[in-house]
């Protein structure tokens, strides 16, 4: 099912759960060291500039140990404020739930030991960044001086937040994890140069940031990047060369990026990938042979392209694969017997392709793959024997169904 079709139902469910769980959405301080007076003052000034219609910050009062306030986590021994968990409880998407809003007071800069700040799903975003704190020049400095920040999460999927200049981020040398998903970066020309210079950056999540990714750039300096999520942005229509140099990645997540043409050979040096998601695009080549040689790949998602041609026997080389989704393509030919050597595979989805006769699949169901496989989906394939879905909640039946299939195949072969 497409993400957007699920939205309203899931959204409602989250909302109901969230209303019940609002009071538990903050993580309590764990310390009984009393907090640093200067930091308490800074938090109070920070609070003064926020709007808090639901009184989530009612525990933030002048006569208490700030380490015990909702959402504040201090160092166990030092008493310094280390984390601020000010996100709305996961999934409270509805505008009808009053959230934090207002301005981010620069007093935050007095929290010298802050290394985690989560403001997700709050309501700062109806106002554009310039008003968010005063002016575009100030916001970068405000965030940019938080030099011990490890974790920056401003994901903002239900509002309208934008950054134009990324210069400020270059001072955050300890940042390991950035999530600016759904923040509008469409006007930001230097996001890639700036993030690529962060020496500790491990994860970069820029889902749906209205980025046009089709520019050319060489010599990126990412040193420790492992996870790159650029889902739902635009390649126009080819994958850009700067991606191909990122050969140290573990995880490359590019679904719904609107690229077309073949899966580019430029990706073939990314042999350390464990997770590759190119689903929901217009790729119309055969599956390139080098991909079968990605021995560490655990999850491969090529769903919803126009991939053609046969799957070759080399697929048996992807021995680490756990989750493989090749559904909704135009793959033809026979299903190779070597699939039977994918002994870690839990999910194999081949549905809605153009295989001639997939009774071949039964020859591949060796004991080894049958033992690990939880879901095998062949829906919509032209199957002479039967169409089936064997799902994990049918585990008890699974053995019998595999036996039945073996018998059928045996019978068929006589």
Ligand X SMILES: *[C@@H]1O[C@H](CO)[C@@H](O)[C@H](O)[C@H]1NC(C)=O
One residue of 61, 78, 190, 221 binding ligand X per CB under 6 A: 221
Residue 141 found at the interface with ligand X (CB under 6 A): yes
Residue 296 found at the interface with ligand X (CB under 6 A): no
> In degrees to the nearest 10, what's the CA dihedral of 231, 236, 239, 241?
-120
DSSP bridge partners of 261? 283
Q: DSSP state, 405?
A: H
Residue 220 found at the interface with ligand X (CB under 6 A): yes
For the bound state, the minimum distance from the C-beta of residue 223 to ligand X, rounded and expressed in Å, comes to: 10
- The two three-digit tokens of residue 174, written as one number: 């300890």
Residues 329-388 that bind ligand X (CB under 6 A): none
Separation of alpha carbons 204 and 198, rounded Å = 11
DSSP string spanning 15-46?
HHHHHHHGGG-SPBP---SPPPHHHHHHHHHH
CA distances from 316 to 27, 250, 253 (A): 46, 21, 23
| # residues contacting ligand X (CB under 6 A) | 45
One residue of 105, 184, 281, 377 binding ligand X per CB under 6 A: 281
Residue 109 found at the interface with ligand X (CB under 6 A): yes
Cα atoms in the 13 Å half-sphere on the side-chain side of 1 = 7
Residues 175-194 that bind ligand X (CB under 6 A): 179, 181-182, 193
For the bound state, the minimum distance from the C-beta of residue 407 to ligand X, rounded and expressed in Å, comes to: 31
One residue of 13, 20, 23, 76 binding ligand X per CB under 6 A: 76
Separation of alpha carbons 383 and 391, rounded Å = 18
Give whichever of 15 and 151 is closer to ligand X, judged by the CB atom. 151
For the bound state, the minimum distance from the C-beta of residue 394 to ligand X, rounded and expressed in Å, comes to: 29
- The two three-digit tokens of residue 246, written as one number: 């990122």
One residue of 103, 207, 274, 298 binding ligand X per CB under 6 A: 207
Residue 269 found at the interface with ligand X (CB under 6 A): yes
DSSP string spanning 218-247?
-----SS--EEE-TT-B-SSSPPHHHHT-T
Q: DSSP state, 70?
A: B
Residues 5-34 that bind ligand X (CB under 6 A): 30, 32
Residue 167 found at the interface with ligand X (CB under 6 A): no
| Site for ligand X, rule CB under 6 A | 30, 32, 76, 87, 90, 106, 109, 118, 120-121, 141, 145, 151, 153, 155, 157, 179, 181-182, 193, 196, 205, 207, 217, 219-221, 244, 256, 258, 260-261, 266, 269, 280-282, 284, 289, 292-293, 304-305, 314, 317
């Amino acid at each position: 099912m497409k993400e957007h079709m699920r939205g309203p139902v899931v959204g409602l469910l989250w909302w109901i759960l969230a209303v019940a769980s609002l009071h538990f959405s903050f993580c309590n301080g764990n310390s009984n060291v009393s907090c640093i007076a200067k930091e308490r003052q800074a938090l109070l000034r920070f609070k003064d500039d926020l709007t808090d219609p639901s009184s989530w910050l009612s525990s933030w009062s002048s006569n208490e140990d700030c380490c015990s306030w909702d959402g504040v986590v201090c160092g166990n021994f030092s008493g310094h404020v280390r984390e601020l968990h000010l996100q709305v409880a996961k999934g409270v998407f509805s505008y009808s739930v009053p959230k934090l809003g207002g301005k981010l007071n620069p007093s935050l800069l007095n929290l010298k030991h802050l290394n985690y700040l989560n403001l997700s799903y709050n309501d700062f975003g109806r106002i554009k960044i310039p008003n968010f704190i005063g002016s575009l020049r100030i916001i970068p400095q405000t965030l940019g001086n938080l030099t011990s920040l490890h974790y920056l999460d401003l994901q903002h999927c239900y509002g309208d937040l934008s950054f134009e200049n990324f210069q400020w981020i270059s001072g955050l040398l300890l940042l390991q994890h950035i999530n600016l998903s759904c923040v509008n970066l469409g006007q930001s020309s230097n996001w890639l140069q700036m993030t690529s210079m962060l020496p500790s950056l491990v994860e970069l999540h820029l889902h749906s940031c209205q980025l046009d990714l089709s520019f050319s750039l060489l010599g990126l300096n990412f040193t420790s990047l492992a996870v790159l999520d650029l889902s739902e942005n635009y390649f126009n229509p080819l994958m850009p060369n700067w991606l191909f140099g990122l050969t140290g990645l573990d995880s490359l997540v590019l679904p719904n990026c609107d690229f077309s043409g073949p899966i580019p050979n430029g990706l073939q040096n990314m042999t350390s990938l464990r997770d590759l998601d190119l689903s929901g695009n217009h790729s119309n080549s055969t599956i390139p042979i080098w991909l079968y040689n990605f021995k560490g790949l655990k999850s491969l998602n090529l769903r919803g392209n126009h991939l053609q041609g046969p799957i070759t026997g080399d697929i048996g080389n992807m021995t680490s694969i756990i989750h493989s989704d090749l559904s909704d393509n135009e793959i033809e030919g026979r299903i190779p017997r070597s699939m039977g050597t994918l002994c870690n595979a839990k999910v194999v989805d081949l549905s809605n392709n153009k295989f001639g006769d997939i009774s071949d699949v039964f020859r591949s169901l060796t004991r080894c793959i049958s033992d690990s496989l939880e879901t095998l989906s062949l829906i919509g394939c032209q199957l002479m024997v039967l169409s089936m879905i064997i799902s994990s909640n049918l585990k008890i039946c699974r053995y019998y169904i595999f036996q039945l299939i073996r018998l059928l195949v045996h019978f068929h072969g006589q």
